[in-house]
Each structure stands twice: as C-alpha cells, then as structure tokens.
C-alpha cells in the first residue's frame, strides 16, 4: 500500500508552525521531501522520523529532492515598500529570492517588455487621461500574459528643510533664483509626474536652478535637503519623514507591480503573489507614513488566463 504523504501546509498545521518554517527545514535537510510535478510532498515515515529526533539516513538523503530557492528579477521604481518586502521574504525564509534593479518606472517597464526581468515596479502617470500605469501597460503588452498588482497609493510632494526656511509653497516658488532644486532622473515615475505638472503650470524647466541635477532614489534625493545642499526636491512623503523634513503634498499616485508570466517564472511569480496577498506582510507596513495600503494586493488588471 502506498505510504501517506503530506503537503508543506499540512505539515505546518500539524506542528503549529508557519509554512515558511517547513520550507526552511527542507532547505536545511532536516526534513526530507520529494516532488510530484511542481508540488512538494513529505512522507509520513519522514515526519515520524523527524518527531523522534532521528537523523535521516544517507540513502534517504539521496532520494530526497533538495529544496531550491525560486528567483525573480525585479526592475523599476525605487520604493521603501519593495525594500521591506525583500527583507520580509529573507527573514521568513520564504523560498523566494528577488533581485532588484532600481532604474526608474519607465526603464523597468521596458526591461519587462524586452523580457529582461520578471516584475516591474512602476508609477507612471498618463498625461492625457491622468490615469496611472494601465494606459502604457495596455499599449506595450498586447499579447503577453500580464497581471498588475497594487502595492499602495503614495503621496508625492515638495520636500523642503524642516520649518521651510525659504518659504517654498508651490511649483512657481521652485523657479525663484534663491531656491536650489535637486531632481529625479529621467525615466523615473516621480520625474514623469514632476515634468507633467511643470507643463500644466507653464513653468520652463530651465528656470529652475538645479533642474539638471539628478538623483536615482528617494532617500538620496531627500538627503540633499537634509545636508543643506539643496532647498527643495520633489518626492514621496515617506522619504521626507525618514529624514524629518517638511513636506507639501501635491498628488497621490498608484504604485503597482507588473507581472509578466512565462513557463519559466510561473512558480516563482505565484509564490510572490501568495506572499503579498496571503501573509501578514501588509500588517507590517500599515503604519508607514505616506502610504495608503487599503488596496494592497488588489489585482487591477489581468489578461486572459495565464495558467492552463
């Protein structure tokens, strides 16, 4: 008679531990498992052996398929939520490794389009519709299997020194001769939004002192203000809060992850989606300043069935 087997979920409930802990035990070789297709299984005799505290035999180790960490490439906008998510997965031994490349929303989406990454992190405003992300996604990905997952709504605004000593309150103030500005790089969603607002308010970029000075992430941009090297920047509330800077809210934007499904990355992408939608990660970021996470994990766009 065939021996009874258990899934990692069933083993986790049996031992009253998390599923991630089960995967970590398998990874370390303390609990031996095998695969049926893409599904991992643990035999009852192996669970009994583990409960009794006996070491697995060499022959059993040879028959067990070693645990392999899934890997994904993420490219696009820098955000503290992405950093927190990667740290969370590492701490929880989730079985998933994400390699980030923070190159801006537009470049990240183009890398996804060219097949050079698996996930893009974006917040791109369409100037004509004033809608975030979906207009450009629908233009680029006409045949690919795509899922768009909401992470958060973020606040963007003008960052100044604490107390706002230069009296900067709007975009026209940025064009004053006594104001030094630091910008985000071309291709970033923040730069995209900033340039759109300048055009709407008919402000010439060359009138802004420091418009050509570019930084590649939110914290280093805000650090210019904190260090006294600039008087103003355009960025997210969470960056201003981390350095105790003044923040003038201007706009709320949608920050999304774009999944491009392939046979090679399907398992890893599903694991990332499960971590976002099914774990307690959301609770760990619920109090982060500058983020509205009420739609965290919401699928806002999905092409036809990506699984058979």
What ranges do the domains of the chain cover? Answer: 5-63, 69-308
Q: Are 53 and 39 in contact, with CB atoms under 8 Å apart? A: no
CA distance 253 to 131: 9
Instruction: Quote the tokens at residue 108.
Output: 């990240």
Give the pLDDT score at 5.
87
Whether residue 145 contacts residue 260, with contact meaning beta carbons closer than 8 Å, is answered with yes
What's phi and psi for 7, nearest 5 deg? -85, 160
- For 34, the token pair is 């095998």
pLDDT 10s digits, 99-117: 999 999 999 999 999 999 9
- Residue 284's contacts (CB-CB under 8 Å, 6 or more residues apart) are 84, 88
- The first and second tokens of residue 52, run together, are 């009794």
- Confidence at residue 1, expressed as pLDDT on a 0 to 100 scale: 46
Predicted local distance difference test score (pLDDT) of residue 149: 97
Q: What percent of the chain has pLDDT over 70?
A: 90
Name the residue among 124, 116, 122, 111 with its Cα closest to residue 149: 122
Q: What is the pLDDT of residue 57?
A: 60
> What letter does residue 133 receive in the DSSP assignment?
S
Q: Which CATH number fits domain 69-308: 3.40.190.290, 3.50.50.60, 3.40.250.10, 3.90.1150.10?
A: 3.40.190.290
d(CA 68, CA 71): 9
Report the DSSP beta bridge partners of residue 215.
184
pLDDT, position 70: 84
pLDDT for the residue numbered 58 = 52
- In angstroms, how far is CA 195 from the centroid of its own chain? 24
| pLDDT score for 108 | 97
124 Cβ contact partners less than 8 Å away, ≥ 6 residues apart: 105, 106, 109, 132, 133, 136, 189, 192
- For the chain, which residues score pLDDT lower than 70? 1-2, 35-39, 55-68, 93-94, 286-288, 304-308
For the chain, the average pLDDT equals 89
């Amino acid at each position: 008679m065939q021996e009874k087997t258990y899934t990692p979920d069933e083993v986790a409930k049996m031992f009253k531990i998390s599923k991630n802990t089960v995967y970590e035990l398998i990874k370390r070789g303390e609990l031996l498992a095998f695969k049926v297709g893409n599904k991992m299984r643990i035999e009852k005799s192996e669970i009994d052996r583990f409960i009794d505290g006996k070491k697995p035999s060499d022959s059993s180790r040879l028959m067990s398929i070693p645990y392999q960490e899934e890997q994904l490439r993420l490219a696009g906008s820098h955000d503290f939520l992405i950093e927190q998510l990667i740290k969370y997965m590492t701490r929880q031994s989730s079985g998933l490794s994400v390699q980030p490349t923070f190159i801006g929303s537009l470049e990240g989406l183009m890398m996804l389009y060219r097949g050079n990454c698996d996930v893009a992190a974006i917040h791109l405003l369409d100037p004509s519709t004033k809608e975030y992300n979906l207009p450009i996604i629908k233009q680029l990905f006409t045949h690919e299997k795509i899922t768009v997952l909401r992470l958060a709504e973020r606040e963007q605004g003008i960052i100044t020194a604490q107390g706002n000593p230069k009296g900067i309150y709007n975009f026209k103030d940025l064009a004053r001769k006594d104001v030094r500005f630091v910008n985000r790089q071309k291709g970033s969603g923040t730069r995209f939004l900033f340039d759109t607002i300048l055009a709407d308010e008919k402000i010439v970029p060359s009138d802004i002192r420091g418009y050509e000075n570019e930084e590649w992430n939110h914290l280093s941009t805000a650090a210019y203000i904190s260090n006294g090297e600039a008087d103003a920047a355009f960025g997210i509330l969470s960056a201003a809060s981390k350095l105790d800077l003044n923040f003038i809210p201007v706009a709320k934007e949608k920050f999304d992850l774009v999944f491009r499904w392939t046979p090679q990355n399907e398992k890893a992408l599903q694991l990332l989606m499960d971590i976002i939608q099914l774990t307690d990660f959301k609770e760990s970021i619920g109090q982060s300043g500058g983020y509205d996470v009420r739609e965290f994990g919401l699928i806002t766009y999905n092409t036809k069935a990506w699984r058979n």
